Structure 1
Amino acid sequence: MRWGYTLMTEQAGPAQLVRDAAAAEQAGFDFEVISDHYSPWLDSQGHSPYAWSVLGAVTQRTERVGLMTYVTCPLIRYHPAVVAQKAATVQLLSDNRFTLGLGSGENLNEHITAAGWPPANIRHEMLDEAVQIISGLFDGGYLNHSGSHYRVDSAKLWDLPEVRVPIAVAVSGAQSVARFALAADAMIAVEPEPGLCESWDASRGNHSPTRKIGQLPVCWDQDRDAAVARAHEQFRWFGGGWKVNAELPGPAGFAGATQFVTPEDVAASIPCGPEVEPILKSVREFVDAGFTDVALVQIGGGHQEEFLGFAASTLLPALRELG
């Protein structure tokens, strides 16, 4: 098992995220993932810097940890050929520590270019085609592509890393697993769904096993009541599930959709407070489901230093024993 730390752009500015990345490496985390958003989920989170600029700075402030987008949507806001260029550049800057995490995105971030928000089946088609384009550019040489959703005219990555950028794709069920298990180098999922990892491995057949990377929000604080209140204020959107979260267009929509969610509802699904055991209990679900990596999200942009101290002294040793 590998244990990760999340640079959550929705809850901190760029300079703090870079400092947190360096501190998380010092604390002993194995890898770090970064969200790639144009908007926060809720106004109370209050931030959303450009993830790729932050990543460039993080490559120069860290030396050991793996880096990864969790996740980038290469459908509307970004053209897949540009995503390939960004990923290759970060791989070079990080000395081959980068993994490109991709997903079909959310209306929250993609509607801003006014190109419309397609239904889920079309988004999966677009993601499939985008992965083909990105992989083709990673192969080297010139790429021409004329598909159902994208065109690429004589594109080439002029600065291509010696180590090919691994591609991880977010999946949620049998349809997306079947579509991407052979096209990707790793699996991403935010819920420890039973059988998801097993079906991913089965779909890959005789191909080599891959990383299966999950994510878990926590709200650590010496005061449990304060932790529950903070988790409710900033993370109550999480309980809607991705089928809902992918469709709402902005923070006002998430505020309205979660107006009747109580602090107790949030605390029932997110470990809150000073104890390590509730976190381990939630992590065990990912371990038992077959995940190889879990990235933790500490809720609250101003509460990272204390959490990282707790992680170094208590949480990471317990996780390594569990793993």
Structure 2
Amino acid sequence: MVDVGYTLSSEEHPPSDLVEYAARAEDAGFDFLTVSDHFHPWVSQQGESGFVWATLGGVSQATDEIPVGVGVNCPIKRYHPAVVAQASATAASMLDGRFFLGVGTGELLNEHVVGEHWPEHEVRLEMLEEAVEIIRTLWSGGQQSYRGEHFTVENARLFTLPEETPPIVVSAFGPTTARAAADFGDGFWAVGPADTVQTWADAGGEGPRYTQLSTCYADSEQEGVETAHEWWPNSELPGELAAVLPTTAHFEQACQTVSQEDVAESGLVTSRDPEDHVDSIRQAVDAGYDHVHIHQVGPEQERFLEFYEEEVLPAVEDAGLA
């Protein structure tokens, strides 16, 4: 069985609009929400990048029961893990048992802004594990100090704590991180069906398994491809480019190599047939995921939400997936 969620894209929409979309998605019948945490958009066309912790405050007041998670936060450079512990504890308190924290090793685009060295992935993974330990320690209450290889915390105490400790879901895009996520995470996170979820499970990973699928619902499939190419070409960049390019200008230069044909062949769902959307979700379930959140690329959010409310989510249930 699968829970179907809706992605609040901080890179494409102003924070107040995201709050409205969150409430609308809950009314439409989505099972959970995710919201991205970036300092920059990937390309300037996207045009936004609000502070996610402020957005979460608005979402907490605009929604009633739907779970909400950050997907994903990088608690190792731009944020010190003690700050993430405080911010997430406050969000969890306001969301009253509905919050989960997604964490990952981050991208240079967002994390270099504080002027610190960007280490190789192996070091960032070590830092992430240490950061998660700090967050959990501070969530446990009382005055805490910590001296690790990468971080120091002195005499810190969180006075605002949620009644229920939120889960920490760890993002992974390769086997090394997937195995590490199995060791110290409460769940797994990836973008798109991938072999890494099986690696995580084989390593003893337990908990929910999240993946994101992209759509671009529009008046025609071609219009959907064109819109996705304009607004989200970065998804088709190969390898580790997304982790090492420092500015939106660099992403725009790299995205000049991405064609509309590349987008059309990427697995992005642009069909107006609800069964095609159900099939995409089914493929993610078959790959091992039980939480699938849908990212509607571009400005056409209300029509997408209406389409999913009236046609896709009922079809998911009829297919026996929900």
Q: Give TM-score scaled by structure 1 length.
A: 0.95
Structure 1 residue matching 2:251: 3-state secondary structure: helix
Corresponding position of 1:218: 215
Q: Conserved in 2, the CA contact under 8 Å of 1:222 and 1:273?
A: no
Q: Conserved in 2, the CA contact under 8 Å of 1:36 and 1:69?
A: yes
Deviation at 1:114, TM superposition (A): 0.9
Q: Conserved in 2, the CA contact under 8 Å of 1:138 and 1:165?
A: no
Letter in 2 for 1:149: H
Deviation at 1:201, TM superposition (A): 2.6
Query: What whole-Å deviation, never above 9, does each CA across 1:73-124 have from its counterpart, x for those lacking one?
Result: 1011111001011111111101110000001111110011111211111111
Q: Show structure 1 runs of 4+ deviating over 6 A.
A: none
Corresponding position of 2:161: 160
Q: Conserved in 2, the CA contact under 8 Å of 1:59 and 1:94?
A: yes
- Pair 1:151 & 2:152 matched: yes
Query: What are the residue-to-residue correspondences of 1:49-198 with 2, within 5 Å?
Result: 49-194=50-195, 196-198=196-198
CA distance 1:63–1:231, shift in 2 (3 Å): same
CA distance 1:156–1:175, shift in 2 (3 Å): same
- Pair 1:246 & 2:246 matched: no
- Whole-angstrom CA distance in 1 between matches of 2:199 and 2:251: 32
Deviation at 1:265, TM superposition (A): 0.9
- Whole-angstrom CA distance in 2 between matches of 1:84 and 1:242: 31
Q: Conserved in 2, the CA contact under 8 Å of 1:225 and 1:273?
A: no
- Pair 1:304 & 2:301 matched: yes
- Whole-angstrom CA distance in 1 between matches of 2:157 and 2:210: 30
Letter in 1 for 2:158: L
Structure 2 residue matching 1:181: 3-state secondary structure: helix
- Whole-angstrom CA distance in 1 between matches of 2:257 and 2:146: 47
CA distance 1:242–1:164, shift in 2 (3 Å): farther
Letter in 2 for 1:317: P
Tell me which of 222, 237, 254 is aligned to 2:234: 237
Tell me which of 279, 285, 289 is aligned to 1:281: 279
Structure 2 residue matching 1:145: 3-state secondary structure: strand
Provide structure 2 residue ranges, at least 5 long, that are not aligned to the other structure. Answer: none
Corresponding position of 1:268: 265
- Pair 1:315 & 2:312 matched: yes
Q: Conserved in 1, the CA contact under 8 Å of 2:178 and 2:197?
A: no
Deviation at 1:280, TM superposition (A): 2.7
Q: Conserved in 2, the CA contact under 8 Å of 1:220 and 1:227?
A: yes
Structure 2 residue matching 1:254: 3-state secondary structure: helix
Corresponding position of 2:291: 293
Q: Give TM-score scaled by structure 2 length.
A: 0.95
Deviation at 1:322, TM superposition (A): 4.9
Letter in 1 for 2:203: S
Letter in 1 for 2:8: L
Deviation at 1:174, TM superposition (A): 2.2
Letter in 1 for 2:72: V
Q: Which of 13-22 and 132-141 deviates more?
A: 132-141
Q: Which of 276-285 and 226-235 deviates more?
A: 276-285
